[in-house]
Amino acid sequence: MGILSKLIPQTFKHQYRLRKYPEYSAIFEIEQEFNRLNKLPRYQGGISTILSNPFKFTDATSFAFIYDEVFNKKIYQFETNNKRPYIIDAGANIGLSVLYFKQLYPDAEILAFEPDEKVFDALSYNVQSFGLENVTYLKKALWNEETELEFMSEGADAGRVAVKNDATQLIQVPTESLRKYLNRKVDFLKIDIEGAETTVLEDCANLLHNVERLFVEYHSFVDKPQELHQLLLFLANAGFRYNVQHIGVFSSHPFCQIHQYLGMDNQLNIFAVRNQ
């Protein structure tokens, strides 16, 4: 059998597996789609069928990265006995996390925020493409008050409330406080708002006791004081234990050189769970 296997051309084996094994075919289709996405230039939008239904993206590179984080690494996976968990997705981007939450808990109630108009349009398209119900999505940025702020529209996954050195791609966006949405039990709170996380958490620190699980992506900007210690203190005071992981922007040899990207010199994923 080993000799016969060597005599069969690889192309024939591949075609046979595609027809014989559905899981092999599915993996191959995903690989082919990622190969296509990797060839697209940055910030060029399009449609992908990697998730069965048409899914709209604004940038192929960030789409592929977030897909890997959400669906392969499952960074937002959580367990609850509540069949209809209440989930707040602050910084929903194009909706990959929203779709994942709905696959995890089909009856979940989801509130999603995304201030970037172009990205929000993709989010809206994707929610409708998959027929997701009980999902509310708002085109607003989170802050510590209701106002309007300058927002740097990066076009992919790094749009943010403008910081000191942001001089281009600026738009005005409405903001509101997260406080009004924390007056009930929140099963999962995801915060990925590109630098506004400490301001937002400080504003609603006395309501975090209503949150069961919290994910926050921390961003350190080179032209601003670091706020990680404050953020972790808010979590600790609210009764959370946390796990911190590097992601994206980090330096392999920080004593020699600090890596920077889009004005940031550090980026962390923080997973906060209740003390048992």
**Segment 104-126, tens digit of pLDDT:** 999 999 999 999 999 999 999 99
Which of 240, 242, 247, 253 lies closest to 266 in space, CA to CA? Answer: 247
Model pLDDT, residue 250: 84
Q: What is the mean pLDDT of residues 253-274?
A: 93
| Cβ proximity of 89 and 101 under 8 Å | yes
Q: Is residue 31 part of a domain?
A: no
In a domain, 189, yes or no: yes
pLDDT at residue 17, as a whole number: 55
Tally: H helices and E strands in the chain: 8, 13
The reported pLDDT for the residue numbered 151 is 86
Residue 225 domain flag: yes
- Name the residue with higher pLDDT: 34 or 123: 123
Residue 6, domain member (yes or no): no
Q: How many domains does the chain have?
A: 1
- Answer yes or no: is 43 within a domain: no
Domain span including residue 121: 80-274
What's the chain's average pLDDT? 89
Q: Is residue 265 part of a domain?
A: yes
Q: Which of 1-10, 93-102, 123-132, 189-198 has the lowest mean pLDDT?
A: 1-10
Whether residue 247 lies inside any domain: the answer is yes
The reply to whether 183 falls in a domain is yes
Q: Write the CATH number for 115.
A: 3.40.50.150
**174 Cβ neighbours under 8 A, 6+ residues apart:** 115, 139, 140, 141, 146, 147, 148
